[in-house]
Amino acid sequence: MNKSEKGFIPVMLTPFKDNGEIDFDGLTKLTELYIEAGAAGLFANCLSSEMFELTEGERLKVVDHVVKSAQGAVPVVATGTFGGPIAEQADFVKQIYNCGVEAVIGITGLLAGEHDGDDVFDANVASLLDLTEQIPMGFYECPVPYKRLISPAQLGRLVATGRVTYHKDTCLDIEQVKAKIAATQGHKFGLYDAYMAHAVASLKAGSAGLSCIQGNFFPELIVWLCNNYDNNDLKLEVDKVQQFFIDNMDVMHNVYPIISKYYLQKRGLNISTFTRRNDVGIFDAKIKTDIDALSGRYDILKGELEIKFEVA
């Protein structure tokens, strides 16, 4: 990707039927929605996809379905490490890669224990890279089962191997983001930031783009920001969008992903709000009112920005 071009990589939802089965028709429509909104790629089988609530077979079916639904319009990355011996993780990385993804993502918190030092993590990653031949890899600082952050120095060493092309960053620290970008200069690599409170600063610092849950409410707005973050003629509008994300950060995390499925349902996507997760809270009348209010605020902002995208 051209360094001056920024991309939105949605952390994909998994639509389910009301009986809990995967809704593959809904997954097709959702894939198409992201692409039509302008996404530069797709991150399938991630935390927003409820990857820990999927069986191994379902993970492969979901990734395969997304790749086929995308029809080559954009690249797809997908998680391929789920704990256990490194040899077993390497085997599943190969299975995910064979679905046709561009890179397989490793969950940092599943490549070493919470109380293990960086030396253990580094050794396990080295083993994983050795056992996965030349498969392009990426890393995701997923908050589950615990958040393990990769330091700028570690990321620089990993990217220098030529095997690591992608990183989804969740450090929430713009100075750390800048240091990671500096440590990975000169390589075919992209850092995608998850934290929308400093989205503009991250894009200006050199991140390759954004990969955030807010894209499961209004993907076209994330695309707009990636396209216009440095447009001096739209500085007031960019500032307003950045503030919109800051002001609405909490409401978009509460009872997620049910609320994002409800929001997309309101916008016209025919999917259920069902989730397999049992730890997200209750989607009660107050939460519904909060999301309806968010929808109203976004409609006003969307009109001001003259964004024409509609969910088919």
Give residue-wise pLDDT tens across range 150-171: 999 999 999 999 999 999 999 9
d(CA 253, CA 265): 17
Q: What is the pLDDT of residues 209-248, one digit of tens each?
A: 999 999 999 999 999 999 999 999 999 999 999 999 999 9
Cβ(140)–Cβ(107) below 8 Å: yes
- pLDDT over threshold 90, residue 126: yes
Answer whether residue 141 shows pLDDT above 60: yes
Instruction: Return the pLDDT at 5.
Output: 80
Contact 100, 113 (CB under 8 A): no
Confirm if 1 and 208 have CB atoms less than 8 A apart.
Answer: yes
The predicted pLDDT at position 4 comes to 57
Residue 209 near residue 166 (C-beta atoms within 8 A) = no
pTM above 0.85, yes or no: yes
Q: pLDDT-derived band of residue 312, with 50, 70 and 90 as boundaries?
A: confident
Segment 282-298 mean pLDDT = 97
> What is the assigned CATH class of domain 7-229?
alpha beta
Going by pLDDT thresholds of 50, 70 and 90, the confidence category of residue 179 is: very high
Residue 36 is predicted with a pLDDT of 97
Mean pLDDT of the 268-293 span: 96
Rounded to 10°, the helix 285-305/219-228 angle is: 40
pLDDT digits (tens, 9 = 90+) for 63-122: 999 999 999 999 999 999 999 999 999 999 999 999 999 999 999 999 999 999 999 999
3, pLDDT greater than 80: no
3-state secondary structure of 230: coil
- pLDDT for 174: 98
Say how far apart CA 210 and CA 214 lie, in whole Å: 10
Give the whole-angstrom CA distance, residue 30 versus residue 24: 10
